[in-house]
């Protein structure tokens, strides 16, 4: 059993230079838990960033196999945390034990997945164009390219996933895999959880011989100082649009601007096609309700917008959907801040002249009550600001369109999203070519006959999308492609073989696939 320290972690050691502290609370009762955390001082932020900068050249030059060993050791340490840890996370977040156990498995699993990717070696992106000394009119020099880590990365913990998107979450895992030390800012909603996980990462670092400063943990309001620190070379963030934009603006205003990979806001439209509603309208209503209220709606892929074409079947679906939403029980949210934000979002919807409330008991008490609204399609076509805003919680908005043409108009008005879902029968697929082409420009993941609340951690997954879903649509925060965010290409021209990184040497000591003169090869040159 491990104890909560309440101190920051800098270069593998605890630090508590500041006198200001913040307290952890029970998410269900509001009761103060017996854990206080020292807010990092400006000096501690600087020390953490400098520790990461000192570790960077050592860590990035370790073999991919050594970094893979480190990630697997983190996974092992996370899996060894006992029931005391699970109970603590439950108290800080009001999430059930089964959810936390599943999330821990996902967190350790993504560490192991990145370890596998490191050993596979494709992340290097190795390309070799050998010299052509006899080429006319000019010879070509020997050119070799691979990718290396950007430098120290600041990672911000997310509120809704205390494990999978937090201390040892996907941003931390992918940054470490890329060879980038991490300075992690703990989320105020689950600080004791962060403390436990930071201990696990630090134990893994020591057991595998990683440099001091490869992982650092800070508590308190340190975001601005961290993003502006010259040692930090990239930022990973999951949270609100307002918070993400603020970080992007800070990073862009630095003397040396740096990339911010922020996942921020998405309403994840679900498109209900007529034949699907004819065939299984009641089943769709039941499944969609389950997705909307899952985990009190606290998923970034929660379906916040439902689109259907006017028909008797859609009317029947909406009647059933409304009845089921009205029967749903209230749920405790992650913290009082999340509940306050949810209530504010509901108030805005209730006050809008173009939006009608269809189902859900009046919001009261300290739990979130599921709600259903209907909005006029003109709000979407005309890019009404409110309809595009994510309401983080168990609520959704239905929009009825007149026909296929108006559906396309509505989709054109849609801003960038993480996901879009098509509920469709095979007989309708040939009518959706234009819809699919449009969605491809709007979202990072298109689902067919499934629901977006559930993100598989694998090589093919994309958890990203055009703004405002993320700040950079070229990446993902889930899956092995997430490593790309923290890598940059370096080209060697006419470099002696002995000075080249192993990924580019003639002998190919890593045994990786490389693009050689335009052909994929694994052999030595």
The catalytic site residues sit at: 263, 300
Using DSSP's 3-state secondary structure scheme, residue 4 falls into: coil
CB 38 within 8 A of CB 29: no
Phi-psi region of 151 (alpha: psi -120 to 50; beta: other; left: phi over 0): left
CB 149 within 8 A of CB 178: yes
* Those residues with Cβ within 8 angstroms of residue 52's Cβ, 6 or more apart along the chain or in another chain: 152, 181, 182, 183, 213, 214, 216, 231, 232
Question: Half-sphere exposure of residue 157, counting CA atoms within 13 Å on the CB side?
Answer: 29
Q: Taking Cα atoms as reference points, which of 471, 59, 492 lies closest to residue 266?
A: 471
Q: Taking Cα atoms as reference points, which of 386, 315, 334, 398 lies closest to residue 360?
A: 398
CB 79 within 8 A of CB 104: yes
Q: Is 310 exposed, middle or buried (0-12, 13-18, 19+ CB in 10 A)?
A: middle
Beta strands per DSSP E along 339-468: 355-359, 371-375, 395-401, 417-423, 443-448
Helix axes 97-120, 83-93, angle to 10 degrees: 110
Phi, psi of 386 (to 5 degrees): -65, -40
Torsion angle, alpha carbons of 305, 311, 317, 322, to 10: 60
Measured CA to CA, the distance from residue 190 to residue 335 in angstroms comes to 9
DSSP conformational letter for 245: H
* Those residues with Cβ within 8 angstroms of residue 139's Cβ, 6 or more apart along the chain or in another chain: 131, 132, 133
Q: Which residue has the tokens 């959704």?
A: 396
Torsion angle, alpha carbons of 155, 157, 162, 167, to 10: 30
Measured CA to CA, the distance from residue 46 to residue 48 in angstroms comes to 5
């Amino acid at each position: 059993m491990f104890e909560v320290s309440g101190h920051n972690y800098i270069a593998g050691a605890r630090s508590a230079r500041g006198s200001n502290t913040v307290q952890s609370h029970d998410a269900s009762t509001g009761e103060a838990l017996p854990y206080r955390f020292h807010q990092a001082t400006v000096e501690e932020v600087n020390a953490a960033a400098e520790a990461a900068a000192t570790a960077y050249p050592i860590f990035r030059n370790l073999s991919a196999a050594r970094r893979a060993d480190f990630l697997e050791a983190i996974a092992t340490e996370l899996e060894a945390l006992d029931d005391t840890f699970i109970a603590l996370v439950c108290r800080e977040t009001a999430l059930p034990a089964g959810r936390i156990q599943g999330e821990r498995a996902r967190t350790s699993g993504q560490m192991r997945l990145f370890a596998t990717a490191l050993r596979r070696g494709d992340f290097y992106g190795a390309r070799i164009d050998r010299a052509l000394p006899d080429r006319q009119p000019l010879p070509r020099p020997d050119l070799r390219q691979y990718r290396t880590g950007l430098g120290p990365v600041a990672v911000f913990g997310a509120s809704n996933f205390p494990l999978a998107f937090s201390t040892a979450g996907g941003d931390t895992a992918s940054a470490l895999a890329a060879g980038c030390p991490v300075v992690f800012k703990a989320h105020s909603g689950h600080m004791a959880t962060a403390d436990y996980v930071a201990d696990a990462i630090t134990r893994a670092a020591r057991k595998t011989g990683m440099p001091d400063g490869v992982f650092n943990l800070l508590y308190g309001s340190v975001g601005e100082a961290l993003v502006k620190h010259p040692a930090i070379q990239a930022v990973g963030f999951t949270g609100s649009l307002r918070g993400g934009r603020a970080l992007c603006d800070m990073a862009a205003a630095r003397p040396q601007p740096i990339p911010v990979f922020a996942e921020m806001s998405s309403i994840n439209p679900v498109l209900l096609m007529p034949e699907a509603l004819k065939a299984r309208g009641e089943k769709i209503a039941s499944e969609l309700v389950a997705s909307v209220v899952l985990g009190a709606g606290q998923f970034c892929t929660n379906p916040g917008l439902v689109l259907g074409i006017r028909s008797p079947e859609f009317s029947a679906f909406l009647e059933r959907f409304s009845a089921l939403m009205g029967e749903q029980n209230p749920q405790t949210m992650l913290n009082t801040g999340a509940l306050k934000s949810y209530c504010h979002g509901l108030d805005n919807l209730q006050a809008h002249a173009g939006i009608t409330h269809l189902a859900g008991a009046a919001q009261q008490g300290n739990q979130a009550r599921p709600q259903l609204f209907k909005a006029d399609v003109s709000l979407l076509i005309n890019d009404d600001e409110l309809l595009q805003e994510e309401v983080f919680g168990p609520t959704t908005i239905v929009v009825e369109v007149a026909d296929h043409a108006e559906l396309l108009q509505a989709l054109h008005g849609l801003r960038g999203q993480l996901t879009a879902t098509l509920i469709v029968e095979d007989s309708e697929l040939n009518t959706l070519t234009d819809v699919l082409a449009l969605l491809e420009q709007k979202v990072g993941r298109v689902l067919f006959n499934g629901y977006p609340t559930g993100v598989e951690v694998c090589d093919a997954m994309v958890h990203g999308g055009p703004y405002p879903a993320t700040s950079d649509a070229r990446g993902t925060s889930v899956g092995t492609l997430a490593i790309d965010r923290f890598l940059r290409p370096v080209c060697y021209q006419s470099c002696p073989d002995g000075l080249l990184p192993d990924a580019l040497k003639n002998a190919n000591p890593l045994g990786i696939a490389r693009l050689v003169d335009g052909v994929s090869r694994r052999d030595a040159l």
